[in-house]
Structure 1
Amino acid sequence: MALREENFVVLHSGSWNTKAGINVVDTNKPPAVTIRSLVGARTVVAEPTEAIEVDDTSKPDESTENTTADDSENADIKVEKSEQDSELPTVTQEQAKDQESNKPQTVYYCGSALTEAQQQYPDSELTVSTPIRNGIVDDWAAMEALWRHVLFRELGIKRSRNASPVLMVVPTDWTKEEHERITQIFFENFNVPGLYLAEEPLMTLYGCAAVTGLVIDIGHNKTEITPILDTQIQRNAIQTIPLAGADFDSYFLELLKADAQLVREYGEPLDLEFARHLKESSVCQVLGKDEKENKNRAQAEYNGKEFTVGSARYKAYEPLFNPDLVGKRVLNIIEAIHAAQLGCKAEKRQSLWEAIIVTGGSCQVKGLQSRIQSEIEDSLTVSENFGEFQVREVKFLKIPDYFPALKDSIVDAGFLGSEIVAKLIFPDPRNYINKVDYNESGPSVVHTKTF
């Protein structure tokens, strides 16, 4: 079966959000789907005279939730096998019996269905969590539910007629067992015609039109610095520090609570969502070494209320440069960058200094890249006589200008790179895992036919 570019799918799940898109004919576009990586779970027991309720807001022929048996030995990967199960908005009494519905079942909610479920059910009945914690899949059943929601509801793919191969973007620290599990889920439960696993830093580098570079990914739970030389990830040199957006949110919230005028003007208790909103707005800024704070308070708005913010707006990201501020004894980002560089051959380091990418959900605050650049340059050896390995210049990469819709959104560099790779690999079945490969070798084929 010839695969068509309009059916190619790119899927990226992170600790904070999940991005996906279908149709790579035109790559100059943002992801079609971006939702929070949150899954609600509710345990139900079907009565003899009632059906198990699923999302009644589902579009026709699209599924919203998964139902798994908690006491099943393979509960974490058991899903409905039939097209009917995955597309009807309700599960009838007969179908429930087929699924042993007399036993407790877990119903999952994602996206807009989760929002409605949170309004409908009390917290005691609905458990909301993220399947990925600290970059690792913590709940495979919930993870599968999220992927199912994105593929079959958000992107409108039909399971029984699935002609959409998936390029799945994965972190560098996911294990072989996790790769095998992904492969099994996508072929056996989602009926994909093809699968390719691609590592996130490399896709980010490709999105910036480079094959060598240093990718600094400041995420929600961790910051990872990955050196890549001629498309090869230097795994021994990767530096990961448990310091990222969640820490900035908590630290910033404490600073805001100490701003008496802000607390008085806002008039309600401040929480993490409040701090996160301000951190991601234009109010916050990272000051460079020669910049001074503006003593005037900045105007801001949240939930229809207007207020002012003081000097705290310049300090939200300080833990990245001084982890002691949040009580963590780890490398700061500049030390981690140097450690990653030192893990590479000396003759290759100059090419890394000239191709740095700062990405991730916490990277877009004004002034962050300039601050990182100035601190790197201050820490480098200065000499009037450049030696063979002397650093001459520190440069940062961005998405090329010939992608006008994405050039100012560095956080989408990985998605752009993934779409480009999908266009290259899926036309030839030798480049990706297809159904023949999977049927012959099983999930272990992922180790011989990917990356």
Structure 2
Amino acid sequence: SSPPPRDSAFAGRHFNESAPVENGVIRDWDQVEALWHYILYEQLGWEKGNEGSVLISEKVLASSKLQRELTTQLMFEKFNTSGLYMANQARLSLGSYGKVSGCVVDIGHGEVGVSCVTDGQLQAPSCERLPFGGKQLTDYFRAAPGIRATAGGAALTQKQLEDLKHECMEVSSSSQAYRQEVAAGERRAHILPDGTMVSIGAEAKEAGEILFQPQAFGFACMNIVDMIHASISWTSDLPVKKMLSESLLVVGCGSATRGLEQRLLSDCRLAFPPSFAPSLLRRPEYMPQTCPMYSAWVGGFIEAKLAFPQNQHITKYDYDEYGPNIIHKKAFL
């Protein structure tokens, strides 16, 4: 997601440029506390003594028990929140589509995760991960020798590389089509939002193919289709397997990659038995096209509207009675 604006109030808190949270793991608690304070009090308008409730989305299986307890303690003791609700992002993403069951493929910044949710419950044995994501795909463009500005041959900045990835990366319709397209060796000029002209060719297809043939690019891991198959295979219940394969949801920053969903469906249909009909969940008509990129946020917005009025959250009384351990008893993680 985009960083908050560096206005005077924000800059005055001495934020550094490192990420305080990496793949869902909090690395710098001081930074996170300062960031949350800025968001809650200075951007959302909380007032001391009149704080509201908070819903926190958690990356699937990323947080330790200690991190959850420290987060709970921080919310109640530092921010005096009146209520806390935590839920995993797979559940929330499905909720944004009005679903409680499905197989969620999350193409994130630092990794790709696949997980199954049934009746609103995350099935931990189903969770699979690839050790790369949007960041590594951007790095691939950086390392490609042919990716240079056409005027002067200068290397691209991080922002330019990100723009190039989002605008040009695409997935071939099949592995055979990929080989043919790369062999053709065609290059084209692409103009970035800042006006810089870049020459790009096979790199656009290669970056997309990493998800489907990671070993060909030096990653010793399963491809994304094998991950989905392994994830759904957590259960031996054939009807459940079939239901999950027919309820695939692709979310995250990489979900908008051109050709991704079509290739994913095509390869999944080859990987599953003929009696299965892998399919993607249809985006509700009222949802914008960018919804999959922010589905956990949208799902959190919807769930908060339901959870807090129905008293499904952790209250201040709960926290005072049981302490930070209450998060292990009253959360959807």
If asked which structure has higher relative contact order (CA below 8 Å, sep 6+), I would say: 2
Deviations 1:202-239 (A, max 9, x none): 00011111111000001111111001112121101111
Does 1:412 find its partner at 2:294? yes
Q: Does residue 1:207 correspond to 2:96, yes or no?
A: yes
State the match for 2:264 in structure 1: 372
Cα contact 1:252–1:275 (8 A) shared by 2: yes
1:397 counterpart letter in structure 2: L
> Which blocks of at least 5 consecutive residues in structure 1 are unaligned?
1-16, 18-34, 41-54, 59-63, 66-88, 90-106, 110-126, 383-389
The TM-score normalised by the length of structure 2 is 0.89
User: What are the residue-to-residue correspondences of 1:256-271 with 2, within 5 Å?
Assistant: 257-258=145-146, 262-265=148-151, 267-271=153-157
2:132 paired with 1:234: no
Q: Is residue 434 of structure 1 aligned with residue 311 of structure 2?
A: no
Match of 2:155, SS state, is coil
Q: How does 1:212-223 map to 2 (within 5 A)?
A: 212-223=101-112
Paired position in structure 2 for 1:445: 326
Instruction: Report the equivalent of 2:32.
Output: 143
Structure showing the higher helix proportion among its residues = 2
Q: Is the 8 A contact 1:399 1:413 kept in 2?
A: no
1:196 aligns to 2:71 (yes or no): no
1:360 counterpart letter in structure 2:
G
How many Å separate the matches in 2 of 1:440 and 1:315? 55
CA apart distance, 1:326:
4.0
Q: Which residue of 2 aligns with 1:114?
A: none
- The CA distance in 2 between the partners of 1:411 and 1:332, in whole Å, is 21
Separation (CA, whole Å) in 2 of partners of 1:131 and 1:408: 26
Alignment of 1:161-310 (within 5 A): 161-162=50-51, 164-173=52-61, 174-255=63-144, 257-258=145-146, 262-265=148-151, 267-281=153-167, 283-289=168-174, 293=181, 295=186, 297-310=188-201
| Conserved? CA contact 2:146–2:200, under 8 Å | no
Which of 203, 207, 221 is the aligned partner of 1:316? 207
Retained in 2: the 8 A contact 1:296–1:310? yes
Residue number among 239, 247, 254 corresponding to 1:355 in the alignment: 247
C-alpha distance in 2 between matches for 1:171 and 1:408: 20
**Cα root mean square deviation, aligned:** 2.4
- Tell me the secondary structure at the aligned position of residue 315 of structure 1: helix
Q: Is the 8 A contact 2:187 2:199 kept in 1?
A: no
Which of 370, 394, 402 pairs up with 2:278?
Answer: 394
Deviation at 1:371, TM superposition (A): 1.2
Once the two structures are TM-superposed, the CA of residue 145 in structure 1 deviates from its matched residue by: 1.5
Shift in Å, 1:37: 8.0
Q: CA deviation at 1:172?
A: 2.4
C-alpha separation in 2, matches of 1:328 and 1:168 = 32
SS in structure 1 of the partner of residue 270 of structure 2 = helix
Task: Provide the C-alpha distance between the structure 2 equivalents of 1:307 and 1:237, rounded to a whole number of angstroms.
Answer: 41
Deviation at 1:271, TM superposition (A): 4.1
Cα deviation, 1:106-142, whole Å, max 9, x if unaligned, reads: x533xxxxxxxxxxxxxxxxx4210112331111111
Structure of higher CA gyration radius: 1
Letter in 2 for 1:316: A
Find the residue that maps to 1:235 and give its secondary structure: strand
Report the residue type matching 1:345 in the other structure.
Answer: S
Aligned-partner Cα distance in 2 for 1:444–1:227: 26
2:161 and 2:93 map into 1 onto residues whose CA distance is 28
The offset of 1:425, in angstroms, is 1.3
Q: Name the amino acid aligned to 1:400.
A: P
* 1:112-123 alignment, distance < 5 Å: none
Report the number of matched residues. 324
**Which secondary structure state, in structure 2, belongs to the residue aligned with residue 181 of structure 1?**
helix
How far apart are the structure 2 equivalents of 1:401 and 1:361?
Answer: 20
* Pair 37,325 (structure 1): closer, same or farther in 2 beyond 3 Å: farther
In 1, the alpha carbon distance for the partners of 2:289 and 2:310 equals 29
Q: Report the TM-score, using the length of structure 1 for normalisation.
A: 0.67
Letter in 1 for 2:273: T
Q: Aligned-pair distance for 1:302?
A: 4.7
Does the aligned pair in 1 maintain the 2:114–2:128 contact within 8 Å?
yes
Structure 2: gaps of 5 or more residues? none
